[in-house]
Structure 1
Amino acid sequence: MFDSERYREEVLDPARKNGNTPPADLLLRYGIDPGRPPRGDAFDAHLTTVVKYWRQLGTQRIAYRKIVEALNAAHRQLAESDLLSAEHFLKDRERVAQATGAALEEIVKDLAGDPVVSAAALTATAARLGGGAATEAKLRALLGRRRIRVIDELWPLPESPPARGSTVLRSIRTLGLPLSLHVLADGRPAVDFTLRAGLRVDGRPLTADRFGVVRERIERGKQDDRKTATDNLLTAMTAALRDGTLDQLVLWELTEAVRPAAGLGKLRVVAREANRLGLQREEAEEFALAVLNRGGVVPVQRDVAAEVEELLGAGSLRAAERLVLAMPADQGAEVRDRVRAAAGRVDELASRAQREIAAGRPEHAAELLATAVREAADDTDLAGRLRMLAPPPAPAVRAGTAAGDRVTISWTPSPARTGGIAYQVVRTRQRPAGSATDGDVIGRTDGNELADTRAPAGDDLHYTVFASRSDGVWSPGATAGPVSLLPEVTGVSAVADESSVRVTWSARPDVTGCTVLREPDGIPVKAGRNGFSDEDLEPGVEYRYLIRAGYPALSAGITVTATPQAAPKEVPDLAVEPLPGQDPGRLRLAWTLPASGEVTLRSSTHRPRWSRGAEITGAELTSYGKELVGRTDPVANRRAALVLPMPAGRLFVTAFSSGGGRAIVGPTVSVTNIAPVTDLRARRAGPVVRLSWTWPDGVALVRVHWWPEDGSPERAEQVDCWLRAYRDDGGLQLTTGVGPVRISVATVSRDGEGETVGSPVGARVAGSGVPVNYRFVQAGTFRRKTRLELTSDQPCPLPNLVVVQSPGRVVPLRPEQGTPVARIPAQRLEPGRPVSVEVPVQATRGPYRLGCFVDDHSGHGPDVVLKGVPGGG
């Protein structure tokens, strides 16, 4: 069934755009389905229906008369040549298809140099080839294979400069900027932006705050032509952003900027220039296509009346008036009347506004002009007259300090009868500002609040708010103040040791000095600009300090507390020691107490991330591992020990010393619940001790420590013994000296994580004593004297000795078996340097015997073994 509406849209409309040329494909021209063409009478009936529709359309709609005339002429020619048949239509279609295909290939080759092409150009090309929608679809597919994008709707470009175009153009020329957006670059070569779906800069919608950042930056510079031009440019762009015309303003700038490149007629050249200016690449290609098609290189049937309607709806009355003049005199009577009526309303509003100004009611005039500008936004005279009317001032302004370091200014909005009011806040000292530039400009906004983050401290500050509809025309000022800003110091940090407190802070550059009172007594403490140190304090007492900043007036002040206490010191050592009875199921940790600080043992499955001696916070301490809790037993020589059940698996134990919110990382030991050695035996042979034990299964290495019984384990000697060497030597032999020693034997496991030491098993080995030889020597002929000589083959500390005399010929075996006749004080005995002492022998009638013994009244036992020949007479 013939669908007349579809036929008109898909066949006749493209033919009209192609210069009223009928399609070359006869099946398309007559609206016949090529897949199921009618035959015989059905074919003739279809042609009759189509021709009748042509005649009806040409009579009812003037716009289709020319194409209908061309279709009728071609139909008569086919009829005269007897070619109105389905067979001829199909055969001719093959010929047209071949010709069209070759033409399409040539067209695609010609377009391959460009990344984009307009849909209007494709439609016109398809129509020129006598195709229509099918040909256009084929052409789109061919271009798609070449990765050429088809733009269905060309980017609409501005026909005339926007309202603020001259100001922007003048400013960017003074600044040497390619586009107004480059004022946001902040030192970068350019900004990246997109326009087609709304202006976005660097991927984000543009806001007034972005302009405010630039304005704050330029306010710090000196006043010159560049600063003035930047200020004018930001004002124009802010106003365009407010009224929604910034997109068109930037698009117009971009169009003007690529005009020289467009003169070359090359799409890639124009696109490259637009991309260099910051427009995203794909949008730059679409923009270049629109620029090169500007002026209608593709024939377009203009609907002038519709364009005028669109201009009126957009508030472009003056452009609508110009377009109406180009319309034929016999067309568009209705739209002409609408334009005439709108112009009359605007003129009446302008006249009434002038009368209100003369009567001293400028805000009523502004309201009338704003109404007129909404209908004639492209009337620069009306817009200029509105801008020259200053709005009423803000009724009330409030200023107060916030957060101690800034002043917040807020105000009641101006009772202006129009929108688009902007406010500028000016800061002055000691007096209100007389104009919008009389002082330090804090900022501009279309809201009703601003914060002064750079307010000077200690002065009486006044904040004046000016309202404006456009840059340079300001209302009278409304002032708040005076306000005095007295910020406190910041970044306060207090550190206490055993008898002093040190406090530091950061002060503003304009601080003249700081005062500090130690509370509750109110004692002044001498302070510098950035801190103080309070000495000779009592440990364990909390002190409070009131710190006030001077400008020279003093701030309210802030309080900081601190408690002196000794700083924690590192735990000197930590060891895993054997338990009495060699109990492998329990763990004994021993350490030397630090000079100050409380010791905390914490265990974890991994080593601490801090190095030994590092200072950490209390929070860091509690976040590491698990605290080992138990009864701590004091040990001699400032040592302490903690006995715990031996945990399963491997763990690391670290000793921390803490105090005053700080902690010092101490030593770490690794403990693994691996089987200990058993049956530990030790045998002494003089200075040599021979060890033996039973090895547990799976263990091939043990670590042996030994140290003097009266010494510290932290100074122990160490030796590693492997199972193979133990078996080869039949045990382990240590040269420990002759004194008593303590021995610890611990199994060791090594893996990819490192080395783990199991629970140690200990033993005590008694000393053997240093051999010391003595003899009694008699000399003299008439008066004989007796001397005691002591010698040794190795150096040793000689203890106190006593010589006893007993009557008879029986040698004394113990000191108490005789009478002491001489005492030799303790001293050092060196090899080759004998000690000789005279012995005053008691007179006796019969024989006597002399013996030498250790005078062991101290109870420490002998350190030497005396060997010699008793004397006597």
Structure 2
Amino acid sequence: MFDGERYREEVLDPARKNGNTPPADLLVRYAVDPARPPRGAAFDAHISAVYKYWQQLGTQRRVYQKIVEALNAAHQKLKESDRLTAEHFLAERRRVVQEIGQALDEIVKELATDPVVAASALSVAAAPLGGAAVEATLRDLLGKRRVRVVDELWPLPDGPPPKGRAVQRSVRTLGLPLSLHVLAGEKDLSFTLRAGLRVGGRPLTVEDLDGVRARTERRKQDDRKTATDDLLTNLGGALRDGSLDRLVLWELIEAVRPAAGLGKLRVVAREATRLGLQREEAEDFALAVLNRGAVIPPRRDVADEIDELLGGGSLRAAERLLPSLPANQDDEVRERVRAATQRVDDLAARAQREIAAGRTEIAAELLTIAVREAADDTDLAGRLRTLAPPPVPAVRAGTAAGDRVAISWTPSPARTGGISYQVVRTRQRPAGSAGDGEVIGRTDGNEVADTGAPAGDDLHYTVFATRSEGVWSPGATAGPVSLLPEVTDVGAVTDESSVRVTWTSRADATGFTVVREPGGTPVRAGRNGFADEELTPGVEYRYLIRVNYPAASAGVTVTAMPQAAPTEVPDLAVEPLPGQDPGRLRLAWTRPDGGDVTLRSAAHRPRWNRGAEITGAELTTYGKEVLGRSDPGTSRRAAMSLPMPAGRVFVTAFSVGGGRVIVGPTVAVTNIASVTDLRARRVGPVVRLSWTWPDGVALARVRWWPEGGSPEQAEQVDCWQRAYRDDGGLQITTGIRAVRVEVSPVSRDGEGETVGSPAGLRVGGSGVPVNYRFTQTGMFRKTTRLELVADQECPLPDLVVVQSPGRVVPLRPDQGTPVARIPAQRLEPGRPVTVDVPVQSARGPYRLGCFVDDHTGDGSDVVLKGIPGGG
């Protein structure tokens, strides 16, 4: 069935964008399914339906008139030449496909000379061949040749940014390729730019520029130092005002201008890469440089232009274009402009009446709706800007993080959007206006932070709302707030009998008070810290540090414990706990005479010898700290339980204290996590195994042996994870008897092979055939006898013989009365087992059946085959 909407979106819309050119493929043009084209009358009816849809669309929607006219002309030509047939359409499809294929080969060959190509170039090349569909094919072909298609060219600045020429003079004086090379010195520079400037993989900061300034500070004052200082100042200014990306991009354009004159993308990209731009970005940059100014906007008629202006809210511009419309045409467009003008004028008049009545917020709402349709009406926008919004209902201010004031407020109940707020800080009193005090923030949110608030003073924060600069609501105030910041970056260093504490404080702090607990002893402190000596080792001391402004802060507490010099840990032992938890291990050691014990694990032994003294910084470079559950121990022994690590690791005990670290003993811990979810499925003599591999294990060892046999005589095979995944499991041949199977993980490294704990299961046998029959002996007093025979040796399970009345053969043991039980025994080939069966007397016919007497439910390794007896 013909789907008009889908046809319009997939065929007609691309044809319109392709210059109102009908698709060359007739099957596409007439929406004919190439896999099942209709024939005869069905084909004619389909063509007629598509033709009628064209006429209807051209009448109802003006934007499709031109493409419909082109389709009608092409349709008439086909009709006059009797080529409106399925056969002609298919033949034409083959011809068009061949021609397009040849054209595509030539286009791809030409475009693939460069690593990137602009999407606009693909559109231009595809337009004569069929537009969007051909463009998609071109993308696929170029992708196979590893040519990237750039949909949006890198936007390039039209001219130099502020300070651009001054930066260029400094760069030339210093002989640098780009201003950024002042950061690298003699080293290579690598940066990216399109998604924001990043030098060496991270954003450029003011601290980076300050570092360069510090390195050049001691140079003698000459032209080069002056140029360096000017360059760093201009780069810092561009970084702060957000124009640094544009500055560097403009420098790049100027630097590759000679290379761009050759018109070769690879040459420009190579030059940009030499200057430090990342290779892929250099290709995109070169493409943008060579295509600069090459994009020609498509031609549109006046009606389309007016439609777009109305949709974008440019009513006054649409009114100015109305005289350009052809006379007696596009009345629908004229009516749309007239109706929009009437709506905007009505809204403006109503707003004026509300202003006169003192209801300014209702007026602002009406004007906002009007401006939405006529955003280019400066009078309406100006009237809206003169209306101040209502003040915010409530403001809250309080200290945050100890060194800043957080201010938040309830948004203004304005009935329009576009409201922003200005926060003003004053001392001792609220601000009288938006300019009365120090502005600490301007935002369209409802919170700011004052990071530069003075300490020890009563501060007031007033919030003003506005729709435009200079027209403010009345202010709403919170306060007073008194900021009393604490010291920061507090650090403590201990030795055997003293504690040294350092901190960072604000410049406006007037003094510091420190009290030591236990005892409440005052400690004399300076601006940057204190030293407390003659202390007792092993005692934890607490120091309360308060800052005076002159009012005192609440204070922060730091704890420290003087410690005796650390000594080497005497011993370290490690063992798994299979009886309690096979997934855990226990580490045990003797406590040293001095220092705290820290355990660290790594994949290799430490590079220091046992007993060596190292620094705390060196300690953190080795492995990671071992954390676990402390186990009860004696006064001299300590222990810890923790999860068993996978593979082989080395654990070392370090003694730490007084800023010193002593290297202790090292033990090796080897473990591999077991496989899980082990499963087996038997098919005759073949068993198919599956399991879940533990992380980090790529090899498993599989062993199996007959049930009841010795594991020492087991067969085995190694299974690599890649082969396991390719085959969907592992298949082994075990024979038909029951077997035991074990799967163990295996780890191999430079120190040998480690086999982990196995996971095992029992796999039942496929069943040894055992034949049985009932016979009768004796002339007068007949005896019923059961005979069992097998072709191979097997363990015969417990059997039961049941008797049921009638001629129906029992199929299960519960369908009759047990008359005999045969105990389990071995059955050997050529040596049948015979048992007399005491049959119960019966007046009529009866039947006998033999079954496995399975009390455990585990199944049997034999299959009974025979003929039921009876009389």
- TM interval, short-chain normalised: 0.3 to 0.5
TM-score w.r.t. the length of structure 1 is 0.47
Larger of the two Rg values belongs to structure: 1
Structure with the bigger RCO (C-alpha within 8 Å, sep 6+) is 1
